[in-house]
């Protein structure tokens, strides 16, 4: 089963899709859009063409476990995306994935604009890897 993970941001949304076996990250992309409707419009063709059967949306809880505006925004996207595509959507605790993504890219020598354009895809990959690892 192919699984998609989404790191929903203010100006870019990272997307990672597993391989057909649902065991590793197979591909990534970044959607440059500023609002929920535009993100969903960009996601639907990807969902349909890639054969995704489950979607994981990063759910950025605060460090103390409480929910803030970012978590509410992700929850709203998850609801609207479920309505648009009918697939199961799982909210996944993604605390610190963007921080980890910046560190990974920095350690790989990616700086400035190169890092800015890929950090969301790396964060989505980390969300997907965390979810896949939880499946055993």
Please report, for residues 102, 105, 128, 136, the alpha-carbon distance to residue 55 in angstroms, rounded to integers and kept in the order given: 23, 25, 9, 18
Which CATH number covers residue 82?
Answer: 3.30.420.140
- Which SS3 state, helix, strand or coil, does residue 90 take? strand
Residues written for the chain: 136
Kindly report, residue by residue over 50-99, the tens digit of the pLDDT.
Answer: 999 999 999 988 788 788 888 999 999 999 999 999 999 999 988 667 76
pTM of the model: 0.87
Whole-number Å distance between alpha carbons of 118 and 96: 16
Q: How many domains does the chain have?
A: 1
**Which tokens in the block code for residue 8?**
């929903």
Enclosing domain of residue 83: 2-134
Segment 37-50, tens digit of pLDDT: 999 999 999 999 99
């Amino acid at each position: 089963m192919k699984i998609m993970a989404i790191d929903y941001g203010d100006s870019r949304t990272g997307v990672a899709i597993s391989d057909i076996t649902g065991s590793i990250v197979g591909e990534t992309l970044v959607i440059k859009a500023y609002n929920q409707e535009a993100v969903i419009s960009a996601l639907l063709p990807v969902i349909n063409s890639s054969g995704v059967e489950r979607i994981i949306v990063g759910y950025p809880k605060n460090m103390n476990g409480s929910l803030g505006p970012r978590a509410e925004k992700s929850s709203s996207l998850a609801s609207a995306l479920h309505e648009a595509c009918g697939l199961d959507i799982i909210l996944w605790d993604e605390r610190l994935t963007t921080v980890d993504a910046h560190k990974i890219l920095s350690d790989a020598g990616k700086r400035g604009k190169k890092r800015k354009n890929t950090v969301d895809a790396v964060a989505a990959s980390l969300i997907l890897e965390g979810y896949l690892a939880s499946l055993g």
